[in-house]
Amino acid sequence: MSSQKRSERAVTPMSEDVSGWYNDVVTRAELADRGPAKGTMVIRPYGYAIWELLQRQLDDRFKATGHVNAYFPLFIPESYLRREAEHVEGFAPELAVVTHAGGEELAEPLVVRPTSETIVGEMYAKWISSYRDLPILINLWNSVVRWELRPRMFLRTTEFLWQEGHTAHADEADAMAETLRMFDVYDEFARNVAAIPMVRGEKTPGERFAGAVRTFTIEGMMRDGKALQSGTSHYLGTNFARAFDITYQDRENELQHCHTTSWGLSARMIGATILAHGDDRGLVLPPRLAPHQVVVVPIGRGDQLDATTAEAQRLAAALRERDVRVLVDTRDQSPGFKFNDWELKGVPFRVELGPRDLEAGVAVLAQRVGDEDEDGRARKHPVPLAELAAGMPARLDAYHDALVARAQAFRDAHTAVVDDLDAFTAQVAHGFAVALHCGDPACEARIQETTRATPRCIPSEGDEESGPCVSCGGASAYGRRVVFARAY
């Protein structure tokens, strides 16, 4: 198929084929493309601009909570992973291992970083000697490699961008406070930046991070009713401290093991944003992650186009003074092409400015979702040019709030409390099932085998309740119901 035909092909309707829709949106909206090596992707400028906005706003939150950034090597001696038995067992199937370099076989194979707990642990053991050295609060921005059998761009790729925080503390109380602090940061970021209201809670023992004592997660509902794990925070206890001899002298000169944490959020959040907000016409970007919050399209020919373009540039300058990210689209394409292109790319607001609008002192404003006509197309409203720039920050905030409410309403409509396996099976086919569970990993495995659903979390909020497990009938384990769903 030629590139021209690919560009003209309509996006596969989400209602017909979510996977096809997702692939169309990622490629046609120019977010990413498949890399030449299986499971890799090339993040294109528009997609990378979203990552930069995500990174900048998350990094600000980390630094506001006392964290600093560092960098650790990509290659890790294989023996490091073997020091923490549960950790190596959990990651073994996903590892990429270098055995030869410089034309020779290596004395010890090197693992390409799947996560950095082990190499961080090795360095913390060198850096920490006294209680005065604690806590250490470090974050890394890097990429990691996990060999994926069924890759999907932004959701599961062999190499992906992320951040991983690694901290060391004097005791359990301080480490747990850190674990929950970063858990809260992720939840707030998801709602207030990505406009995704999350289900927040703790993973069951069978779903914990390999080597963790406790794992906390935020789980978003996508528009096909599936869950997407969007950020996790782990209390590692002294597991890695014992494996790597991370110790300190306390105030009584007694030798103690540190308590450590790790926490991470990846470019998967871009996938979550696509799947939580998109529709049959393409992306729907929340304003705080949109590379262009407003696109201005000047319309006309010859001198008329010169005049509307000049006014569009004046409007853009006024918007930038109010910290609005704006683009004036001066491409040599028809207005209709531009409207459809920016709709596909999810720009929150589009401004059309033609000769008659200029004469009347107005611009025509359309928003991507939330104000559609009977055909599902965005309504257009004339807005005085003199008022448009000043009012845009409030419009963007209102648009963000509307996306949060829209996602919340969708999640509520696709979540149900269930008490028997038949109702459970029917519910997880299109949403979240909230059920009592015995907590046995073997029971979880049977549920997954028969329904393709897994326990996403034990919710942080909810009424205390006990009774028989929805699957095996055994006594429930957690004092409250568990959220189950099919997941990406």
* Predicted local distance difference test score (pLDDT) of residue 9: 54
What are the φ and ψ backbone dihedral angles of 89, each rounded to 5 degrees?
A: -65, -40
Residue 380 shares a structural domain with residue 458: no
Residue 271 shares a structural domain with residue 298: no
Residue 355 shares a structural domain with residue 313: yes
* Predicted local distance difference test score (pLDDT) of residue 4: 40
Q: What is the domain-level CATH number for residue 313?
A: 3.40.50.800
Residues 6+ apart with CB under 8 A from 173: none
* Predicted local distance difference test score (pLDDT) of residue 462: 87
* Predicted local distance difference test score (pLDDT) of residue 89: 77
For 383, other C-beta atoms within 10 Å of its C-beta total 17
Q: Which residue has the tokens 């360095």?
A: 123
Q: What is the domain-level CATH number for residue 457?
A: 3.30.110.30
Q: What is the domain-level CATH number for residue 101?
A: 3.30.930.10
Instruction: Tell me the per-residue pLDDT of 161-207, one tens digit each, with 9 for 90 and over.
Output: 999 999 999 999 999 999 999 999 999 999 999 999 999 999 999 99
Residue 57 shares a structural domain with residue 169: yes
Is the pTM value of this prediction over 0.85? yes
Asked if pLDDT for residue 480 goes beyond 80, the answer is yes
Section 394-422 average pLDDT: 98
CA dist 316 → 193, 329, 340 (Å): 23, 11, 21
Instruction: Tell me the per-residue pLDDT of 199-227, one tens digit each, with 9 for 90 and over.
Output: 999 999 999 999 999 999 999 999 999 99
For the ranges 10-14, 26-30, 277-281, 394-398, which has the lowest average pLDDT? Answer: 10-14
- pLDDT interval class at 377 (50, 70, 90): confident
Instruction: Tell me the per-residue pLDDT of 437-479, one tens digit each, with 9 for 90 and over.
Output: 999 999 999 999 999 999 999 999 989 999 999 999 999 999 9
CA–CA distance, 320 with 35 (Å, rounded to integer): 35
43 part of a folded domain: yes
CB 37 within 8 A of CB 147: no
Written as six digits, the tokens of 153 are: 């761009």
* Predicted local distance difference test score (pLDDT) of residue 3: 40
Section 98-107 average pLDDT: 97
Domain of residue 325, residue span: 294-391
Section 104-123 average pLDDT: 96
Mean pLDDT of the chain: 95
